[in-house]
Chains A and B, each alone.
Chain A
Amino acid sequence: MTAKVSYDDVEVGTELPAQEFPVTRATLVRYAGASGDFNPIHWNEKFAKEVGLPDVIAHGMFTMAEAGRVVTDWVGDPAAVVEYGVRFTKPVVVPNDEKGSVIEVTAKVAAKLDDEARTVRVDITATSADQKVLGRSRAVVRLA
């Protein structure tokens, strides 16, 4: 594990570079294939509406993967992530057009956990269409 961020260089409140992740129907079809999650609520509008959803929604695990990229891009080596958890609070609704939706992710260092292990807790905020789509989204990261 070779994090490119030093424990000594961060403090509580340090912000990670924010990112935006576009998501279209094509993105979801591709993620379905790669992950093996073929639930029709992620690609079949008729089915999604029949089960009471407003439209096709993104895989929760896709949103979790994108939110995690803000942390792994920051530390460089994804092996620095020792813990990562989220709660799925609202679905990311993905309309059937070229634009799709956008997941906006910000994150900041919320706590320095252990001076010896050089671990910090990063709190992540993920929104789409001005709604929080993840809750309790946190990663524990071991820094250099």
Chain B
Amino acid sequence: MALDQSFVGRSYPPTAPYEVGREKIREFAEAIGDTNPVYVDPEAARALDHPDVIAPPTFVFAITFKAAGEQVIKDPQLGLDFSRVVHGDQKFVYTRPVRAGDRLTVTSTIDSIKSLAGNEVLSVRGEVHDENGEHVVTAHTTLVARATPAQDTPAAAQEAPAAEDAR
């Protein structure tokens, strides 16, 4: 069933602040095998004029996707069948890197809803601000609700975004 176009432009309330910890950044950098000292060593970060260690560019997805998942994907009024949802596109636009000590809130907005070959394509914008209300990064996430099971879809977007969404 086609998603309701009137949801385009809908914004959800800002999330409760997520506090970025040095050790969480370290854990993430190690998980992607990235040994750049700017992620783990405050001295190395300061040498590049950062007040504390910074996070790898894609770190913030865990925060923005949680916001999108809890607010948009599960919005009962929107009625997205999240068992069919896969991750299509992802883009980040940065004002500055996320860094340890940040308290980040996410404001999610539905940018577009399209129907392509029977698939529903939903674009969500997650704007991330720090505790002073300053913009940090915007995440643009495109989710595809497949019309058919995975084996029948073209190769595009066989990536499902979150555990509970695939069950």
Q: Contact residues of A with B, CB < 8 Å?
A: 1-2, 21, 27, 30-31, 33-41, 47, 51-53, 57, 59-62, 64-66, 68-69, 72-73, 76-79, 81-91, 136
Question: In the complex, A41 Cα to B163 Cα: how many Å?
Answer: 8
B149 at the interface (CB under 8 A from A): yes
Q: Which residues of chain A have C-beta atoms less than 8 A from B167's C-beta?
A: 40
Majority DSSP secondary structure for residues of A touching B = mixed
Given A60-B159, A78-B38, A91-B159, CB of A85 within 8 Å of CB of B91: yes
Chain B residues near A84: list those with CB within 8 A: 57-58, 91-92, 94
Q: B residues 144-167 with Cβ under 8 Å of A?
A: 149-152, 155-163, 165-167
Asked whether B66 lies within 8 Å of A36 as measured between CB atoms, the reply is yes
Q: Does B97 sit at the interface, judged by CB under 8 A?
A: yes
One of A1, A2, A36, A91 near B158 (C-beta < 8 A): A91
Q: State whether A136 and B89 are in contact (beta carbons under 8 Å apart), knowing that A34-B27, A40-B166 are contacts in the complex.
A: yes
Residues on B with C-beta less than 8 A from A33 are 27, 31
Cβ B31 vs Cβ A35 within 8 A = yes
Give Cα distance in the complex from A109 to B126, angstroms. Answer: 28
Contact status B149-A51, CB under 8 Å: yes
Assembly CA distance A128 to B75 (angstroms): 36
Complex Cα distance A59/B61, Å?
12
Q: Is the CB of B166 within 8 A of A64?
A: no
Are A88's CB and B159's CB within 8 A? yes
Establish whether residues B32 and A79, one from each chain, have CB atoms under 8 Å apart when the complex forms.
no
- Interface window among B6-14, B46-54, B105-113: B46-54
Check A39 against B166 for contact (C-beta < 8 Å). Answer: yes
Q: Is the CB of A88 within 8 A of B88?
A: yes
A30 near B166 with CB under 8 A, answer no
Chain B nearest Cβ from A30, distance in angstroms: 5
Distance, CA A52 to CA B96, complexed state (A): 40
Contact A37 B151 (CB under 8 A): no
Return the CB mask of B22-66 against A: 1 if under 8 Å, else 0: 000001101111101011000000001110001011100110011
**Cα of A37 to Cα of B162 in the assembled complex, Å:** 6
Distance A27 CA – B30 CA, assembled complex (angstroms): 10
Q: Per-residue 0/1 for B75-116: is the Cβ within 8 Å of any A Cβ (1 yes, 0 no)?
A: 000000000001111111110110000000000000000000
> What would 21 A/B residue contacts be, using CB atoms closer than 8 Å?
A1-B48, A27-B31, A34-B30, A35-B61, A36-B66, A37-B162, A39-B163, A53-B150, A62-B32, A64-B90, A65-B57, A72-B36, A78-B97, A84-B57, A86-B90, A86-B91, A87-B89, A88-B156, A88-B157, A89-B155, A91-B158
Do B30 and A85 touch across chains, with their CB atoms under 8 A apart? no
> Which of A37, A77, A85 is close to B92, meaning CB atoms less than 8 Å apart?
A85
Does B90 lie within 8 Å of A85, measured CB to CB? yes
Q: Which residues from chain B contact A83 at a C-beta distance below 8 Å? A: 91-94
